[in-house]
């Protein structure tokens, strides 16, 4: 059965150099006391960034293909790892995004039957980012844009970024909304355990998605598709609850301006405009909740390589006891219907 992995990550040496050169956060730096390379979210929180991880991220060739073969992955969509170039100043990010997209396109050209790509963009120059997305899709053959839970100082619902949303809708390509080092002050204690993948990543990414919903972005761009990892960062669990202020008569009666004026309920936008992937969450109850809340047609295969192992993800999914039809939809059918093949 064909498998298409929607979330695998890479870096280029140009990105690594830029992440070492920046004085802002997040950034790469070697700890002066230990010499260990770390991705610093801010001075009190960091993620280990050892040679094994970095080498796997840098490998866009035979080593990556061998990992795919061993893990049972036929095709993989590659996206620049978090935090991408989203947080860089426009003059740096725009140049870097184009260079990285060209390098990814060259790697895909070597393995056209195995690799696909999501564009890197520098959203702080929205018009340039929209032009780069069009180039990446029309000239390089990329399948969408992978962005992050925050853009360094703001979230994607800010209307200055809407030209990029408009371009994605026009091109008919999805946006993969991926976690990054959180901006939220409340997550800036207890280091990686609160800020990182275990908790803070999902909290802020779910918040970023709800901000998009409540901003009216999907009323403005009704055909826009957003993909979230980790079964939607917990939003499937809240599909009934998020409608609460919009459907309770006493709230509307007390003050009709208490909630944003949307054309539909928040849950309807999530069902119609959001897809989710399996990346990095191996709890069967999470899968069951997501399938019941969103439906099997909204779930896509993703392994989160190299932060997670492809073979571990596939063993977990094979152990869920899915029917042949459900596996076909999950492993490749849903992606194919979106043009992600």
* 51 is annotated as an active-site residue: no
SS (H, E, C) the chain: CCCEEEEEEECCHHHHHHHHHCCCCCEEEECCCCCCEEEEEECCEEEECCHHHHHHHHCCCHHHHHHHHHHCCCEEEEEECCCCCCCCCHHHHHHHHHHHHHHHHHHHHHCCCCEEECECCCCCCHHHHHHHHHHHHHCCCCCCEEEECCCCCCCCCCHHHHHHHHHHHHHCCCEEEECCCCCCHHHCCCHHHHHCCCCHHHHHHHHHHHHHHHHCHHHHCCCCCEEECHHHHCHHHHCCHHHHHHHCHHHHHHCCCCCCCCCCCHHHHHHHHEEEECCCCCCHHHHHHHHHHHCHHHEECCCCECCCCHHHHHHHHHCCCCCHHHHHHHHHHHHHHCCCC
| 39 bridge partner residues | 28, 47
* CB of 103 closer than 8 Å to CB of 12: yes
Active-site residue, selected from the candidate residues 5, 86, 125, 304? 304
Compute how many other C-beta atoms are within 10 angstroms of the C-beta atom of residue 259.
15
Pairing assessment for the beta strands 175-178 and 226-228 based on DSSP bridges: parallel
Contacts of 73 (CB under 8 A, 6+ apart): 3, 4, 5, 303, 310, 314
Dihedral (CA of 231, 53, 198, 183) sign: negative
Active site residues: 304
């Amino acid at each position: 059965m064909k498998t298409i992995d929607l979330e695998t990550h890479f870096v280029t040496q140009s990105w690594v150099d830029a992440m070492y050169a920046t004085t802002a956060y997040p950034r790469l730096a070697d700890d002066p006391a230990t010499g260990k390379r770390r991705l610093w979210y801010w001075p009190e929180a960091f993620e280990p960034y050892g040679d094994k991880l970095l080498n796997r991220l840098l490998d866009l060739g035979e080593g990556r293909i061998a990992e795919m073969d061993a893990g049972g992955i036929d095709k993989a969509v590659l996206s620049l790892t978090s935090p991408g170039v989203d947080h860089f100043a426009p003059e740096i990010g725009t140049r870097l995004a184009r260079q990285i997209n060209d390098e990814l396109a060259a790697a895909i050209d070597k393995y056209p039957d195995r690799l696909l790509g999501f564009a890197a963009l520098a959203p702080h120059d929205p018009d340039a980012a929209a032009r780069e997305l069009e180039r990446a899709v029309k000239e390089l053959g990329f399948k969408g844009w992978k962005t992050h839970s925050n853009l360094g100082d703001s979230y994607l619902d800010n209307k200055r970024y809407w030209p990029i949303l408009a371009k994605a809708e026009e091109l008919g390509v999805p946006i993969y909304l991926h976690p990054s080092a959180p901006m939220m002050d409340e997550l800036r204690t207890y280091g990686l355990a609160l800020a990182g993948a275990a908790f803070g990543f999902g909290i802020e990414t779910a918040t970023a998605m709800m901000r998009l919903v409540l901003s009216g972005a999907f009323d403005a761009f009704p055909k826009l598709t957003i993909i979230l990892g980790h079964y939607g960062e917990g939003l499937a669990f809240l599909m009934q609850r998020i409608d609460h202020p919009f459907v309770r008569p006493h709230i509307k009666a007390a003050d009709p301006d208490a909630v944003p004026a949307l054309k539909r309920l928040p849950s309807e936008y999530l069902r119609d405009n959001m897809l989710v992937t399996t990346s990095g969450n191996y709890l069967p109850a999470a899968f069951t909740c997501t399938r019941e809340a969103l439906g099997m047609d909204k779930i896509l295969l993703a392994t989160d390589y190299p932060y997670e192992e492809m073979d571990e993800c596939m063993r977990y999914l094979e152990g869920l006891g899915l029917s042949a039809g459900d596996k076909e939809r999950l492993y490749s059918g849903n992606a194919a219907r979106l043009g992600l093949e």
